[in-house]
Amino acid sequence: MEPLNQKSLERAVSQKALQMGSSFPCQICVVGFLCGVCLTSLFLATLTSFGTFEFGGFSFSTISEGASAGNSSSEIINMVAGTNCSFKPIIRTESIVDSLRSEEMINNESVSLLYSAWSALLTESESGESDDLQRLGVSTSRVPNAPHLENCKLKTRVNEPLDKRAENETYPPWTSWKGLLAKYPAAATNEHQATSEGAYAPWITGSDEENYPLTRKVQRDIWMHQHPLNCRDPSVKFLVADWERLPGFGIGAQIAGMCGLLAIAINEKRVLVTNYYNRADHDGCKDSSRSSWSCYFFPETSQECRDRAFELMGSEEAWKKGTIKAKESYNSKQIWAGPTPRIWGDPWNHLQPTTDINGSLVAYHRKMDRRWWRAQAVRYLMRFQTEYTCGLLNVARHMAFGKEAANMVVTTFEGKWPKVCWTYIPSALFFLQDRGKQTIMLYN
């Protein structure tokens, strides 16, 4: 009987288990448990089998199982720091596929980095690399040249000899090439002096047809007038004038007034020396260039003539003899509507008509001579930019065209300009790292 009762009990238990197993909640639990075991086994087997594998053009690296969380993080950083790019780690909870950046976005980051590097170079201090450039992690030697920016120091160094008389020469070295080649002049010959006498000012560009009539000759003659051989010669006279400083006068009115004073100086055979200039009265203009036109452009005359003129201003005898005069010696009509110098004839008569009145070009009018002269005077006063003005123009060009230039350089540059490498470490993987398991790092 005992075996019969035992079999009945087993049959009853089996039927009860079958009923419980056929319930829907139990089936869900069993299936979920089995799937979890399978996925975990497959994932761990893959990590332990391969040290590095590639997927979709990206490389997945693993860190040894025995490494601690702190050591794993440092190894990750060192691994990426060894590459030739700027490392920017980003932790995200999205999947690896969703974290991949497009090539266009990476290119935009490289453009922004180059634009920022150029911006830092514009503010670079004389003592060395700027702090901004160091924070970007880029050295000056690795930054490509900016096609829209000028080398202001080199440009000033090239122009300075062209605004001074050569040693024992009547004219500056205007017959040489305008550039560093001027430091290696040709062998001296008897023809050098003859050609120098016919040399023209190097700040005039383009052909004669592209400039006002007689521009090259007039610019040369104005320079010679403003730079006498001996400023202490008793026959040399001066006109010292401040720039207009009344609140209602803008830069255009100031320049127009100075053009009139230069015309007076040439007509009276005086050397014009400009004095106080309110628009240069700020901290950007250093040392002797403060409150002076020479902060922005090369001075209107030599330093020797400036020193001599200011010396004569303290001499009563010089004022009585008329060796020196000031702007106050002339009325406003003489300054603003005075006669144009006629030592070059009437070259404005050869100008093409440019004045449009009611749809018709006027070939001649009473102010053509004034227009021609102001163009000559302004061209002389602004013949060479200073390093400070060059820097201001660089900043303006960079703001206007910097991003476009950076994009052009990044897309065509064949050097080693770093690309920004974005590293994505999904936060889910830190769960494995915290337990001493292998950690996956994704890097470009």
Residue 1 has pLDDT above 60, yes or no: no
Residue 267, Cβ density class (10 Å: 0-12 exposed, 13-18 middle, ≥19 buried): middle
Position 54 scores a pLDDT of: 45
Residue 14 has pLDDT above 80, yes or no: no
Q: What angle do CA 295, 217, 292 make, to 5 degrees?
A: 10
Position 23 scores a pLDDT of: 60
Count CA atoms within 13 Å of residue 113 on its CB side: 25
Question: What are residue 293's phi and psi, to 5 degrees?
Answer: -60, -30
Express as a percent the part of the chain with pLDDT over 90.
41
> How is residue 419 written in tokens?
């690309």
Residue 98 has pLDDT above 80, yes or no: no
Position 342 scores a pLDDT of: 94
3-state SS of 235-269 is CCEEEEECCCCCCCCCHHHHHHHHHHHHHHHHHCC
> How is residue 6 written in tokens?
């035992």
Residue type, 443: Y
333-365 residue pLDDT tens: 999 988 999 999 999 988 877 788 888 888 777
132-184 residue pLDDT tens: 767 777 777 788 889 999 999 999 999 998 998 877 667 787 865 566 555 55
Position 436 scores a pLDDT of: 37
Position 44 scores a pLDDT of: 66
Question: What are residue 212's phi and psi, to 5 degrees?
Answer: -65, 155
Q: What is the dihedral of CA 251, 256, 257, 258, to 10 degrees?
A: 90
Position 145 scores a pLDDT of: 87
Average pLDDT, rounded, for the chain: 76
Q: Out of 207-221, 344-358, 405-419, 426-440, which region has the weakest mean confidence (pLDDT)?
A: 426-440
Residue type, 111: V
Nearest Cα to Cα of residue 99 among 84, 85, 88: 88
Nearest Cα to Cα of residue 310 among 277, 281, 285, 273: 273
Nearest Cα to Cα of residue 171 among 194, 189, 188: 194
Express as a percent the part of the chain with pLDDT over 70.
63
Query: Does residue 289 or residue 26 have the better pLDDT?
Result: 289
Residue 319, Cβ density class (10 Å: 0-12 exposed, 13-18 middle, ≥19 buried): middle
State how beta strands 360-362 and 58-62 pair.
Answer: unpaired
Q: Are 384 and 203 in contact (CB under 8 A)?
A: yes
Position 36 scores a pLDDT of: 74
Q: What band does 129 get if pLDDT is binned at 50, 70 and 90?
A: low
> How is residue 284 written in tokens?
């950007």
Q: Which own/partner contact pairs does 139-145 have at CB distance under 8 Å and 24+ positions apart?
A: 142/416, 142/417, 142/418, 143/114, 143/117, 143/118, 144/114, 144/409, 144/413, 144/415, 144/417
132-141 residue pLDDT tens: 767 777 777 7
